[in-house]
Amino acid sequence: MLNACSPSESQALAATPSVPAVQPASVAKPVPVYRGNFLKDAAALAKAEDDLKSLPRFHGKDLKFFDNIVFFSGPRPRIELDIQNTENPERIDHYVYWQGTWRRNDILRKPPPPEKLNIAEHLTPLSQVRFADVADVAKVWEQKARSVNAVVDDAYYVSFVYLRSQNKRFWHTATIEAVGTQYYLSLNADKTVWEFKKL
């Protein structure tokens, strides 16, 4: 999510007597950053899902993602996932939702899976995940965080994961950091608590 001069740089330039101050002809306005906690905004999350499925290359197709979907809040609220290419099933493409727009990001894309890897074993139909459910998962995380007096109790990371070793799909969350200890929380696909334990 990921340039004009910063205020300190501008002051330094103006303070240099041999260099006259220069006013830029025009400065592009930055794209507004999402306000509030993205992980708790079910409507914004649902819109992101709808926008992804409505991309011209995906419209009307059954999409499958590779291993997991990651949701972030904080200074760079976004969603990241790898999707099986609908034209070339052996290719996995990396997509990022940032500032209200989906982009295929070849720079961040994972290396091509090794030839011996059975891609199909790592795929989950996108239809099995509702992005809006992240808001419920975030709420549970915050409740657990407050229950142990966590240092941070505002949700900032959630992912939907496929654990091949147990053939299980579940919600994974950020470690809860309390004074002198940590806690692990994960939820079943239906958003009921699977594990909540001290590490």
Domain assignment present for 69: yes
Q: Which helix (H) or strand (E) holds 102?
A: strand 101-104
CB neighbour list of residue 177: distance below 8 Å, 6 or more residues apart: 150, 151, 152
Domain assignment present for 120: yes
- The pLDDT, as a whole number, for residue 111 is 57
Question: HSE on the CB side for 77, CA within 13 Å?
Answer: 20
Beta carbons of 175 and 196 less than 8 angstroms apart: no
- The pLDDT, as a whole number, for residue 186 is 98
Place of tokens 């103006």: 14
Tens-place pLDDT, residues 74-132? 999 999 999 999 998 888 999 999 999 999 986 655 555 666 678 888 999 999 999 99
Distance CA 96, CA 61 (A): 19
Q: What's the number of domains the chain is made of?
A: 1
Confidence of residue 12 (pLDDT cuts 50, 70, 90): very low
Domain assignment present for 15: no
Side chain identity at 154, as an amino acid letter? D
Percent over 90 (pLDDT), the chain: 66
Average confidence (pLDDT) over 40-55: 96
Domain assignment present for 93: yes
Q: Give CA separation, 26 vs 7, 12, 33, in Å.
A: 16, 20, 21
Tokens standing for residue 6:
């910063």
- The pLDDT, as a whole number, for residue 33 is 52
Average confidence (pLDDT) over 1-29: 37
Domain assignment present for 148: yes
Q: Is the pLDDT of residue 5 over 70?
A: no
Residue 126 neighbours by CB distance under 10 Å: 21
Range of the structural domain that residue 124 is part of: 38-198
Domain assignment present for 22: no
Domain assignment present for 3: no
Place of tokens 């990371």: 157
| Residue 131 CA to its chain's centroid (Å) | 11
Distance CA 22, CA 37 (A): 38
Q: Does the predicted model carry a pTM greater than 0.85?
A: no
